[in-house]
Amino acid sequence: MKEKNYRKATLLLEDGTELTGFSFGAETAAAGEIVFNTAMTGYPESLTDPSYKGQILVLTYPSVGNYGVPGKAVGHNMHEHFESEHIHVNALIISDYSEKHHHWNASQSLSQWLKEEGIPGLFGIDTRALTRRIREKGAMLAKIIFDTDIPYYDPNQDNLVDKVAVKEKIVYGTGSNKIMLIDCGVKNNIIRYLLQFDTTVIRVPWDYNYLQEDFDGLFISNGPGNPEICRATISHLSQSIQNDQPIFGICLGHQLVSLAAGAQTYKLKYGHRSHNQPVLMEGSNKAYLTSQNHGFAVEAKTLPPDWRTWFTNLNDGSNEGVKHIEKQIFTTQFHPEASSGPTDTAFLFGEFINKVALWKNR
């Protein structure tokens, strides 16, 4: 059995659940919030998604690693095949690790990549039983132990956004539509989508005071952790939504715009992390399959009178987007840019840029 060639480690959950696995990543202890993702593919994108900062990720698909890890090609000053510069998960848990990988674009194995980045990974875990446990108990703290015990770590108490966002302004493109992008942990594919249009994307830190800057449209990115911690962003947005410029927020950006408008957020029991989350566009019979990664949600009933629900999750009825009834402000909890996952809602980027162009040329 291949397990004989791998070192054992213990996965311990805060409810006392103890599981033994085999290390195929860095042999170092790790702690964080344990969550699961039901996607069948896309581990390079998921592992580099800044929204996973502070979390131990469980992949429910049984066999992982068979297509390896792509090379680090760069385009527009970003990694073309990853969502950020490095892995953000605190650890990875899977059922079976494919020792042999094959793909035309693979440059190394998943094991090599994890070790290179210092991220522990365990296989040989019954991820089906573990996921059922998380669904029953809710997302909880967990830790991986090799030799010496370590304390649990609650990432939701930290300002994770400050750890993953850029520290200074970065400009992409030279288009005529200037998009101010508030980086709360933005995925590269969001920037790639915006650059497909006639845009200049101005990426600034989450707490940057952009209010006196010259721009045509405002975009607020995805990111990790509790949205209420981003007080500076909420304060700036509360001023922006009083204006008439188009605003588009995705994931954490959706939550921050909602908080700035006066709504409330809450923590989901175990979050939405997958490629197959169905959402309904309110006022229509249009349903879309979406890619999602979030642990918090907007409480729709707390939206002010001049805001309305735009999308609703068909699995649990949670809010998946809001719109202002008069202003050009809209948000989605899901990821229209996917990467990985379905691109059914990618048209929303075009809608945003069209609104930006109309506002600029008013």
Tokens 């719109």 identify what position? Answer: 323
What does the block give as tokens for 182?
Answer: 């508030």
Tokens of residue 335, six digits: 């990821």
Q: What are the structure tokens assigned to 48, written together?
A: 């580099």
Q: Is 88 a catalytic residue?
A: no
Q: Do 144 and 122 form a contact (C-beta atoms < 8 A)?
A: yes
State the Cα–Cα distance between residues 321 and 298, nearest whole angstrom: 9
Answer for the pair 129, 93: CB distance below 8 angstroms, yes or no. Answer: no
Of 83, 184, 251, 275, the catalytic one is: 251
Determine the Cα angle at 286 with ends 280 and 287, to 5°: 50
**Cα dihedral angle (208, 52, 332, 195), rounded to 10 degrees?**
60
Instruction: Catalytic residue, from 33, 45, 83, 337: name it.
Output: 337
β-strands 30-37, 55-59 pairing: parallel
SS3 for 359? helix
Locate tokens 């440059």: which residue?
107
Active-site residue flag, 282: no
Rounded CA-CA distance 298/303 in Å is 9
Catalytic residue (one of 81, 236, 272, 335): 335
Q: Is 251 a catalytic residue?
A: yes
Is the peptide bond preceding residue 340 cis, with omega within 30 degrees of 0?
yes
Residues paired with residue 9 on neighbouring β-strands, in sequence order:
21
For residue 260, which phi and psi values (nearest 5 degrees)?
A: -65, -30
Under 8 Å between Cβ of 63 and 2: no
Tell me the β-bridge partners of 289.
278
Is the CB of residue 23 less than 8 Å from the CB of residue 61?
Answer: no
Q: Return the active site residues.
A: 251, 335, 337
